[in-house]
Amino acid sequence: MSTSTLYNVRFAGMATCVPKTTLSNLTDCNPQLRSQRERLVRNIGIEFRRINQPWQCFSDLAFDAAEKLLESLDWERQEIDALIVVTQSPDYLAPATAIILQDRLGLSTSTIAFDVNLGCSGYPFGLHLLGAMIAAGGVKKGLLLVGDKSATVDGTLFSDAGTATALEFSEQAPPMFFDLNSDGSGFRAILLPVGGGREPVNISHLVPFRRNEHDEWRSSAALILDGPAVLSFSTTTVPPAVCKLLEYAQVPMHEVDYFVFHQANRMINETIRKRLGLPEEKVPSTLRDFGNTSGASLPVTMTVRLRESLEAKANRVLLSGFGIGLSWGTCLVDIEGACFPALVES
């Protein structure tokens, strides 16, 4: 399928919630690591990250974002026909977090609610999935909740966030264009190896280890990330995907107001921007202040950097998510008159 168009789907609003607790990659670490960290921050572009309280789940952030959005939109909860949660940080392995949130948010039991297991690429996929349900005619209003709890104190890349997006049926809505792709041959590039059916958790996974006294403590249950493979995948896949979608939509690059890319790290994002020849002012970034917030990074960046512009006038926005899977999705959305409440911190 890859490319597709959705009609009669209006982008009604978006809200983002991040934890209050901020970690600095420069100062919240062993002082002996300061010099290494300065070099790291210079290159990956991430200085601050947000981290959940130990008791806080991704769904708690998504819940607060959804509450804020529903309140701002003044939507009746009984009107919401679908609730899709895109996360790799569910409350439980089962049941789906979306079903638990249906009840917490006070939505009707006639709401369609389910989870989608996608990470950094997830936002365009979620938008397409909910949008397709609305375009088909049965669902009139729906919520898409996207994000993850992936920050760790010792990590330097990931940051926590939960987001809510509202879509509704409208015959006046401009078309939305999508290009969605998957390549499982690269699944080992970003892998959480332990805890699933292939390798269930056992006690040995819980024993931390380090290679030498200067190394940071690690866990064999932690995420494995093949940096060079991810860099090569992102910088070779994303620029042609953007060009392909614009060609499909017959929209010249200069007619796009903003290009919002998944906030991976500065090396990846700057390479993509330069390959596409895009000016910095059209490519907003939240890497320095919010790090890599997985699938939430597109909404985080739209809320933090673009909300005033998005509320003030009509904008054509290209969104690009890419990462774990491997998986990458691009969409082109015209946004006008949508509701963008200020960033929520909880």
Partner 1 sequence: MKAQRFIENFLMATDFQKPVEVTLDSEIRNLPEWDSLAALGVIVMFNTEYNQVIDGNHIHNAVTVNDLFLLLA
Total of chain residues touching partner 1, rule CB under 8 A: 21
Among 284, 283, 268, 262, smallest CA distance to 235 is for 268
Alpha helices for 168-313 (secondary structure H)? 227-249, 266-276, 287-290, 297-301, 307-312
Pairwise CA distance, residues 47 & 28, whole Å:
10
Q: Please say which residue, 152 or 232, places its beta carbon nearer to partner 1.
A: 232
**What's the min distance (Å) between Cβ of 267 and partner 1?**
5
Q: Please say which residue, 35 or 202, places its beta carbon nearer to partner 1.
A: 35
Q: Please say which residue, 220 or 232, places its beta carbon nearer to partner 1.
A: 232
**What's the min distance (Å) between Cβ of 19 and partner 1?**
27
Pairwise CA distance, residues 260 & 319, whole Å:
5
**What's the min distance (Å) between Cβ of 122 and partner 1?**
24
Does 108 help bind partner 1 (rule: CB under 8 A)? no
Contact string (CB under 8 A) for partner 1, positions 254-293, x = contact: -------------x--xx--xx------------------
**What's the min distance (Å) between Cβ of 222 and partner 1?**
15
Contact string (CB under 8 A) for partner 1, positions 26-55, x = contact: ---------xx-xxx-xxx-----------
Contact between residue 115 and residue 89 where contact means Cβ atoms under 8 Å apart: no
Amino acid at 150: S
- Preceding amide of 326 cis, omega within 30: yes
| Residue with token string 């006046």 | 172
Q: Please say which residue, 5 or 236, places its beta carbon nearer to partner 1.
A: 236
**What's the min distance (Å) between Cβ of 127 and partner 1?**
29
Pairwise CA distance, residues 118 & 132, whole Å:
18
**What's the min distance (Å) between Cβ of 292 and partner 1?**
14
Q: Please say which residue, 184 or 228, places its beta carbon nearer to partner 1.
A: 228
Contact string (CB under 8 A) for partner 1, positions 192-231, x = contact: ----------------------------------xxxx-x
**166 by DSSP, 3-state: which?**
strand
Q: Please say which residue, 80 or 190, places its beta carbon nearer to partner 1.
A: 190
Structure tokens at 318: 């290209």
CA-to-CA dists, residue 301 to 290, 291, 295, angstroms:
9, 11, 11
Contact between residue 127 and residue 179 where contact means Cβ atoms under 8 Å apart: no
Question: How far from chain centre, in Å, is Cα 43?
Answer: 22
Structure tokens at 137: 């005619």
Q: Please say which residue, 264 or 331, places its beta carbon nearer to partner 1.
A: 264
Q: Where are the beta strands (DSSP E) in 31-108?
A: 48-50, 82-86
* Interface with partner 1 (CB under 8 A): 35-36, 38-40, 42-44, 226-229, 231-232, 235-236, 267, 270-271, 274-275
